[in-house]
A and B are shown apart, each in its own frame.
Chain A
Amino acid sequence: MSIIDMLVRVDAICKKFDKYDPSKQHKDLIINPDDHFLQLYTTMEAEIEATVKKANEAAEEKNRAAVATMNAEIRRTKAALREEIPKLERLAKKKVKALSPEDLAARPDLVVALAARIDDIPEGTMMGAKKKKKIDKSHIEIKIDSAAADEAFSSERYEHTAESAAYQEEFQHRKNKQDQNLDIISEGLSTLKNMAEDISEELDKQDPMVGEMEEKIDKATGDLTKNNARMKEVVSKIRSGRNFCIDVILLCVLLGIAAYIYK
């Protein structure tokens, strides 16, 4: 064999087993340990590719539940990736040494392209598009200080919707009930008023009567006390001397016997 043949064969074999060469492998990754942008960029790219693969799998999947779960996962990753985009943009602006100015200018474009790729990942439904539309619609409806004059005075605004009609009906119903109750209360109050007036008149009538009674009773008590005093005088006069007491006692005994005999 000639030396040239040997060299060629050795080159071929080396190339074959290059992937097992650790020094060679690091070459790709030792781009620059300080270049965070590239690191983040590469990780995001890898994730995008994985998500796309998953999306393809989902498109071929027959089981709808599995499809739904896969789509949900894809959406989640998409959302996570979208969040990383601003970080990437910031890093893109940073200046890294050993990087050519053209590369630096190209980085923001890369970021935008990446964002577009993320959005393009199919998630199996049309919901994304719908959501967008809906949000726009609600934006149109909720206008607080709409300066459009014709819209403010449009008759549509003042027409009843079902809700407002029901509300008004309930309001009326409650008002009527309150009125009824107030009527009942007013009737009761007028009865009370009449009774109170009658009581007042009765009291006016009876007041002088009570006064007269008081007078007469006072007079009677006066008479009684006078008579009691006089009787006391008389009795004390008679009581002088014990003989009188004995006389009285004997008299009573006699009367008792007589009454007993004649009864």
Chain B
Amino acid sequence: MGDIKHRDKENDPDRMMRKGDKLTKLSLTRWTSDWARATPYYEQAANLFKIAKKTEKAKEAHERAAMGQERLASPWHAGKHMESAGALAKELGLWNEVADFFRRASELYIESGKPQPAAEALSRGGRALEDGLPDEAVKMYLEAVGIFEEEQREQMAFDTYRSATSLYIKLQRYTDAATMLLRWGQSADKCKATSTQCKTCVGAVIVYLYAQDFKQAEQCQNDLSMIDAYFQSEQNRFAEQLLNAYREGNPEEVKHVVKSSGVINHLDHMIIRLAKQLPVGDISHLAESSGAGGEAAAEGLEEDDLT
């Protein structure tokens, strides 16, 4: 079937490519590249290559088409082509190119005055790079999130937050994951998405506990209790129970709290996995150290609240 298509003049992608190249290559007869006519050829070629599953050629065609659209002052279409090229590069495993393409696509989108698709392009680039260059992926996620926050479009950012958090956890960068969760909680707060906010806050506490950073977890919980919406939620109660179990230094109690709570089931599955593995490490030492200290801290807080 593919051969029959190739025989047909109209549907021969190589021919299309050659035509496009002819129109753009500079030579004695041609002083300026005619992108206006060349671009449609390149686009068609790209589609045909994709159908024929010739990924390398399709990627090239997309690149050329993007260049053409750029010259034609339509950055939107250029961005679209760049993204397609990036996706194809991912299939080929050319990670650096993937990163470049998506970045370029995002820039083009910003040029065209559409920041949201730019951030989305970065997010997609990050997802594509997760396997290949995780650090680069992380960077792209952060950039995407930054753009979302700037543009006050936090609601669209939730998916990106989620992917970033899961990548951090995969890379075992737990403090970063918790920070990301807290950032997520903040944007949820701005959009009044209380349910998501509570879930992310609890997730942050759990991640801190998993990273065996009990102090940080406690502090986090204290900070979060200031938030009304979180304070009244069942997630808060669950977090309190969990921290109490930790303060007693009782691992069975911790396990019991996690198992018996209905809150856990509705969290993100990677956080559920972490929670199921609590308690990590030896928590019995927490019983003695935080026994006296915890009370004093609690009293100190109360005094502050009274003033």
Q: Which residues of A contact B (CB under 8 A)?
A: 187, 190-191, 194, 197-198, 200-201, 204-205
Residue pair B195, A204 in contact (C-beta under 8 Å) = no
Per a CB cutoff under 8 Å, which of B191, B192, B196, B266 touches A191? B266
Residue pair A204, B262 in contact (C-beta under 8 Å) = no
Residue pair A194, B266 in contact (C-beta under 8 Å) = yes
CA distance in complex: A20, B266 (Å): 117
Tell me, rounded to whole Å, the shortest Cβ–Cβ distance linking A193 to chain B.
9
Residue pair B266, A205 in contact (C-beta under 8 Å) = no
CA distance in complex: A190, B264 (Å): 11
Residue pair A197, B155 in contact (C-beta under 8 Å) = no
The proximity string for B residues 261-284 relative to A, scoring 1 for CB distances below 8 Å and 0 otherwise, is 010011000000000000000000
Tell me, rounded to whole Å, the shortest Cβ–Cβ distance linking B192 to chain A.
8
B193 on interface, CB distance cutoff 8 Å: yes
- When distances are taken between beta carbons in the complex, the residues of chain B under 8 Å from A198 are 195
CA distance in complex: A194, B196 (Å): 10
Residue pair A205, B265 in contact (C-beta under 8 Å) = no
In this complex, the member of A197, A200, A204 whose beta carbon has the largest number of chain B beta carbons within 10 angstroms is A197
Tell me, rounded to whole Å, the shortest Cβ–Cβ distance linking B161 to chain A.
13
B51 on interface, CB distance cutoff 8 Å: no
- When distances are taken between beta carbons in the complex, the residues of chain B under 8 Å from A201 are 193, 195-196
Residue pair A204, B193 in contact (C-beta under 8 Å) = yes
Which residue of chain A has the shortest Cβ distance to B234 in the bound complex?
Answer: A190
B156 on interface, CB distance cutoff 8 Å: yes
Tell me, rounded to whole Å, the shortest Cβ–Cβ distance linking A223 to chain B.
17
Per a CB cutoff under 8 Å, which of B155, B156, B192, B195 touches A194? B195
What count of chain B residues pass the 8 Å CB interface test? Answer: 11
Q: Which residues of B contact A (CB under 8 A)?
A: 155-156, 158, 191-193, 195-196, 262, 265-266
Residue pair A197, B195 in contact (C-beta under 8 Å) = yes
- When distances are taken between beta carbons in the complex, the residues of chain A under 8 Å from B196 are 201
If A187-B262, A191-B266, A194-B266 touch, does A205 touch B156 (CB 8 Å cutoff)? yes
Residue pair B155, A205 in contact (C-beta under 8 Å) = yes
CA distance in complex: A191, B265 (Å): 9
Tell me, rounded to whole Å, the shortest Cβ–Cβ distance linking B238 to chain A.
12
**Additional 14 contacts, C-beta under 8 A, given A187-B262, A201-B193:** A190-B266, A191-B265, A194-B195, A194-B266, A197-B195, A198-B195, A200-B195, A201-B195, A201-B196, A204-B155, A204-B191, A204-B193, A205-B155, A205-B158
Tell me, rounded to whole Å, the shortest Cβ–Cβ distance linking B169 to chain A.
21
CA distance in complex: A197, B233 (Å): 13
- When distances are taken between beta carbons in the complex, the residues of chain B under 8 Å from A190 are 262, 266
Which residue of chain A has the shortest Cβ distance to B194 in the bound complex?
Answer: A197
- When distances are taken between beta carbons in the complex, the residues of chain A under 8 Å from B191 are 204-205
Query: Can you name 21 A-B residue pairings with CB atoms under 8 Å?
Result: A187-B262, A190-B262, A190-B266, A191-B265, A191-B266, A194-B195, A194-B266, A197-B195, A198-B195, A200-B195, A201-B193, A201-B195, A201-B196, A204-B155, A204-B191, A204-B192, A204-B193, A205-B155, A205-B156, A205-B158, A205-B191
- When distances are taken between beta carbons in the complex, the residues of chain A under 8 Å from B192 are 204
Which residue of chain A has the shortest Cβ distance to B158 in the bound complex?
Answer: A205
In this complex, the member of A190, A191, A198, A201 whose beta carbon has the largest number of chain B beta carbons within 10 angstroms is A201
Tell me, rounded to whole Å, the shortest Cβ–Cβ distance linking B117 to chain A.
13
Q: Which 4 A-B pairs have the closest CB atoms?
A: A197-B195, A205-B155, A194-B266, A201-B193
- When distances are taken between beta carbons in the complex, the residues of chain A under 8 Å from B265 are 191
CA distance in complex: A201, B158 (Å): 11
Which residue of chain B has the shortest Cβ distance to A200 in the bound complex?
Answer: B195
CA distance in complex: A191, B267 (Å): 11
- When distances are taken between beta carbons in the complex, the residues of chain A under 8 Å from B193 are 201, 204
CA distance in complex: A205, B148 (Å): 14
